[in-house]
Structure 1
Amino acid sequence: MADVLLPFLGACLLIAMSPGPSTVLIIRNSLRSRRSGLLTVLGNETGVFVWGVVAACGLTALLAASQLAYDVLRVVGAGVLIVFGAQTLWAARRGGGVDLGESEGEDERRSGWGSYSAGLLMNLANPKAALFALSFLPQFVPEGAPRLPYMVGLAALWAVFEVGYYAGYVWGVGQLRRWLARPGVRRRMEQVSGGVLLVLGARLALQPGP
C-alpha cells in the first residue's frame, strides 16, 4: 500500500502546486473571509471527487472520445471563467469585495453557499479536470486490484489532500488580510485576479479539442 500511496500523495502535491483557475478563485474569495475561502476549497474538492468517481466509472472516456461533448463543456467552462472574471473586475471598479457567485446584501448562509457553489462550478466546468482524472488515477491502481473501488478511494484521498493544501492558502491570505484589505491593495488584487480569470477563459475557449 505504501508503494502506491507515497507516490500518489507526491503527485497530488505537484498537482496542487500548479496554479490554475481554482487557485485564483480560492485566493480571491479568501480575501473576503477565511470562511468564504474554505467553502470555496470544499466546493472545488467536491468537484475533484466527482470527476474522480466519473473517471472510475469510465464515463470521462466518452468526453475524451467525443469532440462535440468536449467542445460543449469547454465553451461552458470558458463562459464560467469569463463571467467570474468580469464580476471580479466589476467589484474592483466599485471598490467592493463581493464573493463570486453572490451579490451584496446576501445573508451569511447564502454567501457561504455562493462560495461553495463557485468552487464546485469552477471545477466541474473544466473539461481538462475531467480528462486529467481519467489519465491520472488509473496509474496508481495496482495490477489485479478492483478498479472501481480503488479509484474512488484514490479520488477521495486526492480531494482530502487538496483540502489540507489549499487550507494553507486560506490561512496565509487570512494572516495578510489586514494589509490586503487596504482599499488600494484590495482593488489591485481584484483587478489582477479578474484579469487572470478572463485570460484563462479566453484561452480555454480558443483551445482545440482533447
Structure 2
Amino acid sequence: MVVEVVAGVGVLALLTVVPGPDMAVVTKRAVAWGWRDGLRTVGGIVCGLLVWGVLTVVGLAAVLAASATAYTVVKLAGAAYLVFLGAQSLLRSRRGRAVPAAVARAGAAKGSPWRTGLVSNVVNPKIAVFYTGLLPTLAPSGMPPQAGMALLVLLHGVLTLLWLGGYVLVLAKARVFFERPAVRRAMERLTGVVLIGFGVKVAASQP
C-alpha cells in the first residue's frame, strides 16, 4: 500500500507543478499586494481543492463530470472569473495604480485574497474531472476507495500548499525588483494576459 501511495503522490506532484490558472492567480496577488496576500490566496486555493475532494468522495463531482450541461455552466463561470481577474490586472497597469511598498508589506489588498483563491478553484470543473477520473485509479488498494481518495486529496492539498507557498516566498525574495513601478506594471500586464488566456482555454475546453 505504501508503494501505491508514493506512486499516487508522484503523479499528483507532477500535476501540481505544471503552471496553470492557480499559479497565475497567486502571481497576480503576490506581485500586486505582497507575500502575505499571496499566501492567503494559496490558502483559498487549497480550500477549493478540499471542497472538490469532499464532493468527489461523496460522489457529487461525478455528476458534474458526467453532465454536459452542468459542466458547461461551471466551465463558463470559471472562464468568466479568470477573464475578470485578467481584465482587472490590465486596467490597473494602464491606470498606473502601483501599490505602495509599505501597503504591500502590510498585507492590505483590494478584496479577499482567500476568496479569490477559493473561487478560482471552485469554479474550475477540470478539477472535478481530474478527481473523479484519476483519483479512483490512484487510490491504494489496501484501503476502502473513499478513504483512499480522501487521503490523496489531503496529500494533493499539502503538495499544492508547499509548492505555491514556496513560489510566493521566492517572489518575496525578489520584492525589491517587483516593487519597481515599471516592473510592477509589466507583471500586471503579463499576468492579466495569462489569466485571460487561461479563461479562454477553459471556455473552449471539453470534459
Structures share fold, TM-score greater than 0.5: yes
Quick check: 1:204 aligned with 2:205? no
Q: Give how far 1:88 is off.
A: 0.8
Residue 59 of structure 1 and its aligned partner are, at CA, apart by 1.4
1:129 pairs with one of 117, 127, 130 = 127
1:27 maps to 27
Match of 2:146 in 1: 148
Equivalent position SS for 2:112: helix
Query: Offset of 1:183 from its aligned partner?
Result: 0.5
Instruction: Report deviation, 1:168.
Output: 1.1
CA distance in 2, matches of 1:12, 1:142: 14
Q: 2:176 — aligned with what?
A: 178
* CA gap 1:117/1:96 in 2 versus in 1, 3 angstroms: same
Alignment match, 1:102 = none
**How far has the Cα of 1:113 moved from its partner?**
6.7
CA distance in 1, matches of 2:141, 2:67: 28
Supply the distance in 1 between the matched residues of 2:39 and 2:134 (Cα, whole angstroms).
25
Who is 2:63 aligned against? 62
Alignment map for 1:1-210 (pairs within 5 Å)? 1-31=1-31, 32-97=33-98, 111=109, 114-143=112-141, 145-207=143-205, 209-210=206-207
Partner Cα separation in structure 1 for residue 158 and residue 111 of structure 2: 20
Post-superposition Cα deviations, 1:42-65, rounded to whole Å, max 9, x if no partner, equal 100111111112111221211122
Once residues 171 and 40 of structure 1 are traced to their aligned partners in structure 2, the CA distance between those partners, rounded to angstroms, is: 13
Q: Which is worse superposed, 60-69 or 179-188?
A: 60-69
For 1:26, the aligned partner's letter is V
Report the Cα offset of residue 162 of structure 1: 1.2
Offset at residue 143 of structure 1 (A): 2.9
Question: RMSD of the alignment, in Å?
Answer: 2.0
Matched to 2:64, the amino acid is L
Q: Structure 1, unaligned stretches of length 5 or more?
A: 99-104
Q: Deviations over 1:94-150 (max 9, x none)?
A: 22257xxxxxx9xx7984971000001001111111111112211222336212222
The CA distance in 2 between the partners of 1:149 and 1:110, in whole Å, is 39
Q: Any stretches of 5+ residues in structure 2 without a counterpart?
A: none
Is the Cα–Cα contact under 8 Å of residues 137 and 154 in structure 1 kept in the other structure?
yes
Q: Distance in 2 between matches of 1:114 and 1:172?
A: 22
1:191 Cα deviation after fit: 0.2
Work out the CA distance in 1 between the residues paired with 2:36 and 2:155: 22
What is the distance in 1 between the residues matched to 2:160 and 2:66? 28
CA change 1:73–1:113 in 2 (3 A) is: same
| Whole-angstrom distance in 2 between the partners of 1:30 and 1:23 | 10
Q: Percent identity?
A: 36
SS of residue matched to 1:16:
helix
Separation in structure 2 between the aligned mates of residue 12 and residue 141 of structure 1, nearest angstrom:
12
Paired residues in the alignment total: 201
The residue type equivalent to 2:80 in the other structure is G
- 1:35 touches 1:112 (CA, 8 Å); kept in 2? no
For each residue in 1:29-54, what CA deviation from the matched residue of structure 2 results, as whole angstroms up to 9, or x when unmatched? 11121110111111001111111121
